[in-house]
Structure 1
């Protein structure tokens, strides 16, 4: 539990156990960001070529050092030197499938925290099979975040139907009418696999199976450029090198969302938004976070 900038035994910063203590959460986020910028951890990202450039820049903007190695012959060796491992199923290939599973084994053996972005598992039996193999290899008690939109979480839980592409189905988007069902699903997935779940969307949901945080930060412009979900994945991975999974996921949703808000206020279109978004992520400070954070625990 995070109290007065103390950390748990493995050195990672944690959230306080006290519900709705916004000040403690803000202090934990700032301590985590400071640690990343001070230590500049290596973040091993196995991601897709569509967003790889932006993902590397997100890690750099947050203070980490990205490495985007994906050859099966080297990923285990590289993973064991990293502070965290960020994996992504987008645009999956045979080589990347093999590398994801090899890197996961190496990370689990060394206790290196892992985040898996389950892109497209609702529309592809092949990707679902990769995720199930990944989960078979998980070692109980090792830090893991499972990321996906609500349609992808439903696919993992066997509740999916009629998903087309990698976007969330409109009826699956978290809203007041389906919030309780979405929370139940996310908590069930977290408990089943011993992981923190990050369900991304207009409202992001983060849970470890017990505590639940909702984050309302963000801008509709984030949905008009490609790869913002992938960027959230690697930003979470960067923070995962310095904080417990629950804090890393919630903080990444807040900070990426705030950066999107700031970028949207200063852009003229999607091209300038992408630049302003990256600028905001690099320069966002404690004052911005305190003034804009929209995180609530339910």
Structure 2
């Protein structure tokens, strides 16, 4: 995988692809900075009357369901349709589908009508797309969920919609429905500032502009995890967030290769 990481980073920094992100205002700045840190160019347009035109010119599209509104829902539908027509790969970040029936129903509509290249969610969000009876409190991950249970659910979703699924947690899981990769990079400090999960989706969209969905999802998890580990600090949340952007902007293939902790997930339950 090391050669593909070098190639992806080189492509992003030499070609500066345009990444169209329709995301929530809570994390919009962090997502834009994450895209810039890898060398790509962000555009955060969300007006329904312009998103189709902008999406058609992008190298990848990110749809994030956080802080959902009627306007953003309409914009995402139009943008997803334009992406399909133009062959633009899409990352769907299913934020909050475990705690909101509105978001769960909307995400399932998008998945059925416009299957993305990559579906991203935390453990609770991925499980909620398989089990209608499952609910969670808020948009945070459910720490009671095991990787084995989520790997099984992620595989089911991947096969149902023909996409790669990225389930983020203490151990990130990535699957195309045939095998599951477990990625162990990261730090608890990533959960201490808002928007880092959304930033992971933005990184995934960047790498999707330069690689296959499976490689893009894996590399995004490793890059975010390694940058978080290197950014960890006892100084506090504000310093950590600044360090995280610095580490992402200076990340190189050698650093990723030296620090990546990735393996095939072999639990029999999955």
Per the normalisation by structure 2, the TM-score is 0.95
Asked if residue 288 in structure 1 is aligned to residue 255 in structure 2, the reply is yes
Asked if residue 233 in structure 1 is aligned to residue 201 in structure 2, the reply is yes
SS at the partner of 1:148?
strand
**Any gaps of 5 or more consecutive residues in structure 2?**
266-270
Q: Deviation of residue 181 (structure 1)?
A: 2.6
CA-atom RMSD, angstroms?
1.2
Asked if residue 81 in structure 1 is aligned to residue 43 in structure 2, the reply is no
Distance 2:131 2:167 in 1: 16
Distance 1:185 1:95 in 2: 31
SS at the partner of 2:144?
helix
2:268 is aligned to none
2:95 is aligned to 119
1:161 is aligned to 134
1:13 is aligned to none
Provide, for residues 147-200 of structure 1, a one-character-per-residue CA deviation record: whole Å limited to 9, x for no partner: 00111111111254341111112212xxxxx33332211111100011100000
2:15 is aligned to 39
Distance 2:252 2:186 in 1: 16
Provide, for residues 90-117 of structure 1, a one-character-per-residue CA deviation record: whole Å limited to 9, x for no partner: 0000000000111000001111100000
**Any gaps of 5 or more consecutive residues in structure 1?**
1-24, 173-177
Match of 2:45 among 69, 76, 83: 69
Distance 1:131 1:48 in 2: 15
- Alpha carbons of 1:48 and 1:105: their partners in 2 closer, same or farther (altered >3 Å)? same
Asked if residue 223 in structure 1 is aligned to residue 191 in structure 2, the reply is yes
1:279 is aligned to 246
Distance 1:45 1:290 in 2: 28
SS at the partner of 1:170?
coil
Would you say how many aligned residue pairs link Structure 1 and Structure 2? 265
2:75 is aligned to 99
1:11 is aligned to none
